[in-house]
C-alpha cells in the first residue's frame, strides 16, 4: 500500500504544475539554466526577454537583430506556429494546437 501511495506523490506534483509536464519535450533542446544552451537557447527568464539575446547562444539570422520581445502574446503566437511567427528560425518544432496548453506552458516558463 505504501508503494502505491508513493506513486501518487509525483503525479500530484505534476498535476499542480501542468506546464512542467508540457516542458518535458522542450528539454531535448532547451535548458532552464542560465547560459546552459543545448540545440536551442536556455529558456530561463525567456518571458519578457528580447528575442535572440540569450548570451552565448548562436542564433539563426531570423533572430539576430530581431526587435521582438518574448511577451506572453509573442510566445503564444510562436508556440502555436513557430515558422509562421518567425520565418527562417531553426526550431524543429511544428507548434502546439491547444491554447490552454500554450498558456499553461507560458505561465510555467514565467516562473523559471
Q: Read off the pLDDT of residues 28-72 as tens digits, 9 standing for 90 and up.
A: 999 999 999 999 999 999 999 999 999 999 999 999 988 999 999
CB under 8 Å to 20, separation ≥6 — which residues? 14, 108
| 51 within domain boundaries | yes
The CATH number for 93's domain is 1.10.760.10
**Three-state DSSP class for residue 8:** helix
The confidence score (pLDDT) of residue 12 equals 46
Give residue 23's domain range. 18-110
The tally of domains found in the chain comes to 1
Instruction: Collect all residues with Cβ–Cβ distance below 8 Å to 95 and sequence separation of at least 6.
Output: 79, 80, 81, 82
In a domain, residue 9? The reply is no
Query: What is the model's pTM?
Result: 0.82
d(CA 9, CA 57): 36
Asked whether the predicted pLDDT for residue 86 surpasses 90, the reply is: yes
pLDDT score recorded for residue 25: 95
Amino acid at each position: 500500500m505504501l508503494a502505491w501511495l508513493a506513486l501518487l506523490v509525483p503525479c500530484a506534483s505534476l498535476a499542480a504544475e501542468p506546464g512542467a509536464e508540457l516542458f518535458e519535450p522542450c528539454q531535448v533542446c532547451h535548458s532552464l539554466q542560465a547560459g546552459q544552451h543545448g540545440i536551442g537557447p536556455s529558456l530561463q527568464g525567456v518571458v519578457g526577454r528580447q528575442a535572440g539575446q540569450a548570451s552565448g547562444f548562436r542564433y539563426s539570422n531570423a533572430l539576430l537583430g530581431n526587435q521582438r520581445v518574448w511577451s506572453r502574446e509573442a510566445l503564444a503566437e510562436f508556440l502555436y506556429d513557430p515558422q509562421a511567427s518567425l520565418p527562417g528560425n531553426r526550431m524543429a518544432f511544428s507548434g502546439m494546437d491547444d491554447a490552454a496548453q500554450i498558456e499553461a506552458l507560458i505561465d510555467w516558463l514565467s516562473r523559471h
